[in-house]
Structure formats: structure tokens, C-alpha cells
Amino acid sequence: MAMIIWSIVIFSLSEISITAGYHRLYSHRSFKTNPIVEFLLLFCASLASQRSALRWSFEHRLHHAFVDTDRDPYSIKRGFWFAHFSWMFEDPKEIDKKMVPDLLKNKLVMFQDKHENKCMYMPNLAITALLGYFLNDFIGAVVIALGLRLFFNHHCTFFINSLAHTVGSKPFSKKISAVNNYLISFPTFGEGFHNFHHAFPRDYRNGIRWWDFDPTKWLIRGLNYFGLATELKSTSNKVMEKRLLSEMDHTKIHHAETPEKSYQEEASYEEPSKEEQVTT
Ligand SMILES: [Zn+2]
Ligand SMILES: [Zn+2]
């Protein structure tokens, strides 16, 4: 039982470091933080073994810039399983320096990229050995805390590229395949609101209503509370409402009994008060 609990703890730390670090900090620059927090995010994200932050962010920026085209590295147009994981069997694209100029200047990111294999293997081996030793169960540590935990780390992230581009709603952009899927937010620490995220990628939130399950947003907000994260980017309600209205299905509005009410419900988002607002 202790092995399972520790595996869940390591899974959670590494997964939220992928979503807060690799995704919202490095890929989208939705907030700023200090080198100590960056180091911790990079260290824990390395446990998820999803390659370096530089490569992950480069591929993710391509995904946003060219979504649903051949230049999208994990395009859903090439099939569910291609977007989920088989895209990784293609030759990796050479990193285009023009896509990641900010990250090339980041010493921690570049160190992790240069020593990618060591950064992935060493903490994983150390944690597995420590758990095996202290819980006196080396086989359990290798099977559960390493194998099974990494399986979940990988597939939870993969579901954002596959399922969050397949099953769900598209309130913010009907033109793209990205969907809002509440269920995916649970194993991915808030990344299921993918239609909103593609519409407003720099927003540090993915779930914008206060009750939306988005622990990554809560972590960033918590860091901000303690002065460890600054310049949180968020989209103003006015911009979101405008987008929602422009994307609404007008044939449905025509037949709806109370269109004003349904609009108000959709537009009841959190006020992005003190934070810097993005005017996309
Ligand atoms: Zn996407
Ligand atoms: Zn993104």
C-alpha cells in the first residue's frame, strides 16, 4: 500500500510539473518565476521522462501554430493513435531556433536539454532504489513506482493530444479540433479545457470558472500568493465573451427559449482581477 501511495505522490508531482512547467511556463510563458522554482519544476518534470523542456516546448509551439495541419507534430488529422503516441516513432524534427529563442537563453533549460538522458534516468533510478530500499520491496518499486507510474505519466499527457482533440465541446473555437473535455482534466491536472486553451494559449488558466478542476492554475496562483510567480497572463472576460458570442451557433440561438440566460451561464467566468490581462 505504501508503494502505491508513494507512486501516486511521484506521479502527481511529476505530472503537475509537466503541466505547470513544461506547458504553461516554458511553452506558453503564461507566468514568470524564479530559478529555484524553475529548478524544482524541471527536476520533477524530468521524472515524467517526456524528453527535455526545450524539445517538449518546441514541439508544443509547433502544435499550436500549425494545429490540424501536416506541420502539427501530433496532428489529430493523422488519426487518434498517431496523435496519442505513434507520432513519437517519426524522426524527431530539428529544433528551429526561431521557435524557441527565449528558451535558448535559459541556462537551466539548456542544461537539462544538454544532459537530457542523465536528467531523466538518474532521478528515476534514485527514487526507485530509495523506495525499494526503505519499503523493502525492489520488485514493487520497479513495477509500480517506475513502470506503472511512468505508463500513467505518459498516457495522461498523451490523452491531451488525442482525446482532447476528439470528444468534447467547442465553445471558443469551432474551426479547430481541440475540445473542452472535463473528464480529462482529472488525470491531467486541469488540461482538459483544451478548446479554451487553443483559443487563448497564453492564459495561465485552462479551467476558467472557479469550480473548474484545474490544480495547475491553483498551483500557479498559490506561487503567486507567496511571490514566487509573477506576471500571470489571463484573458479578460470581455474578450472571452466576444469570442463566445462570435462562435455561438446562431441557428440554435434562433430556436432557444431563453438565449440570454444560457449565454450568461456560459459567460460566468472568474474575474482576472489583479493579474496582467492578455488582449488577444
Ligand atoms: Zn492541442
Ligand atoms: Zn498548449
What tens digit of pLDDT does each residue of 128-170 get? 999 999 999 999 999 999 999 999 999 999 999 999 999 999 9
Report yes or no on 259 lying in a domain: no
Q: What is the mean pLDDT of residues 218-244?
A: 92
Q: What does pLDDT average to over the chain?
A: 88
Q: Which domain holds residue 28?
A: 2-235
- φ, ψ (nearest 5 deg) of residue 278: -95, 135
Report yes or no on 265 lying in a domain: no
Residues 6+ apart with CB under 8 A from 151: none
Q: Count of domains in the chain?
A: 1
What pTM did the predictor assign?
A: 0.86
Report yes or no on 257 lying in a domain: no
Q: Has residue 279 got a pLDDT over 50?
A: no
Q: What integer pLDDT is reported at residue 92 of this predicted model?
A: 85
Ligand 2 mean position, distance from CA 62 (Å): 10
Report yes or no on 93 lying in a domain: yes
Ligand 2 mean position, distance from CA 249 (Å): 26
DSSP 3-state of 250: helix
Which long-range contacts does 201-207 make (Cβ < 8 Å, 24+ apart)? 201/28, 201/64, 202/28, 202/29, 202/30, 202/233, 202/278, 202/280, 203/30, 203/233, 203/234, 203/235, 203/278, 204/24, 204/30, 204/31, 204/232, 204/233, 204/234, 204/275, 205/234, 205/270
| Closest ligand relative to 18 C-alpha | 2
Report yes or no on 251 lying in a domain: no
Ligand 1 mean position, distance from CA 71 (Å): 13
| Closest ligand relative to 57 C-alpha | 2
Residue 136 region by backbone torsions, left for phi larger than 0, else alpha for psi between -120 and 50, else beta:
left
- φ, ψ (nearest 5 deg) of residue 193: -90, 65
Report yes or no on 95 lying in a domain: yes
Ligand 1 mean position, distance from CA 14 (Å): 20
Report yes or no on 217 lying in a domain: yes
Look up cell 470558472; give the residue: 209
Q: State how far the Cα of 193 lies from the Cα of 247, in Å rounded to an integer.
A: 16
Ligand 1 mean position, distance from CA 135 (Å): 39
Report yes or no on 51 lying in a domain: yes
| Closest ligand relative to 164 C-alpha | 1
